[in-house]
Amino acid sequence: MHQEEHEVAVLGAPQGSGPMMSTVVNVRSETVVPDHIVWSLFNTLFFNPCCLGFVAFAYSVKSRDRKMVGDVIGAQSYASTAKCLNIWALVLGLLVTTAFIITVIVISTGPRVHRSY
């Protein structure tokens, strides 16, 4: 047991009397760039008028790729385009869905003509 304590003391002590060397790691703070990929996927699957949801999804993937490479400006540009396309896809999708529901209601509850012979 005395020998183990000696080994720890030898390993833990500095070997030479030279200057201590230190390593500095620079961690850069990443700018958060939302890529809107989940919103784009939702619009691609559910609200996809004129393929706007699919195009927004493509721009979201490009934004994520630019972010992984480290091009923050490019990632922000693609993310801004994806956001704009997502807004248009959502608005147009909601308008088309609302118009379809109103049309179905109007047709199904329209005046019924009873003909008696």
Is 115 or 108 the better-scoring residue by pLDDT?
A: 108
Arithmetic mean of pLDDT over the chain: 82
Place 99 in a pLDDT band, splitting at 50, 70 and 90: very high
pLDDT surpasses 70 at 8:
no
Going from the C-alpha of 39 to that of each of 57, 61, 97, 102, 114, the distances in angstroms are 8, 12, 18, 26, 49
| CB environment 46-66: b (16+ within 10 A), e (fewer) | ebbbeebbbbbbbbbbbbbeb
Task: Look at the alpha carbons of 104, 106, 108, 109 in this order and tell me if their dihedral is positive or negative.
Answer: positive
26 pLDDT more than 90: no
pLDDT digits (tens, 9 = 90+) for 63-97: 999 999 989 999 999 999 999 999 999 999 999 99
Residue 11 or residue 105, greater confidence: 105
Q: Note the pLDDT of residue 85.
A: 95
Checking if the pLDDT of 57 tops 60, the result is: yes
Residue 16 reports pLDDT greater than 70: no
